[in-house]
Amino acid sequence: MELVSGGDLFVHFTQDPIFIENRAKFYGAEICLTLGYLHERNIIYRDLKLENLLLDADGHIKIPDFGLCKEHISYHSTTGTFYGTPEYTNPKVLEKDN
């Protein structure tokens, strides 16, 4: 991946927690298009969080860290494994593991 000099969305959101509507729509659209691209290729991205949404110099989203991706997953498949950052996980999911 090329140098991504715009920082991550966590830093931007921490500095200014209210994005104007057009900015939020733009980021949302780029994220959805990227995830859609991966899903069309039967890949699921399992580490989506603000820290993993980087901005390039032009303000476009770049998604790094594909280490937790799962390949060869069809539409109705499940993985049976849990990955992710506990701080971003639904508490009920964490309760099931204990």
Q: Which residues are catalytic?
A: 47
CA distance 86 to 52: 15
CA distance 14 to 64: 20
Which two three-digit tokens encode residue 57? 């110099």
CA distance 73 to 26: 28
Taken as a whole, the chain contains a residue count of 98
| Sign, Cα dihedral of 33, 38, 41, 46 | negative
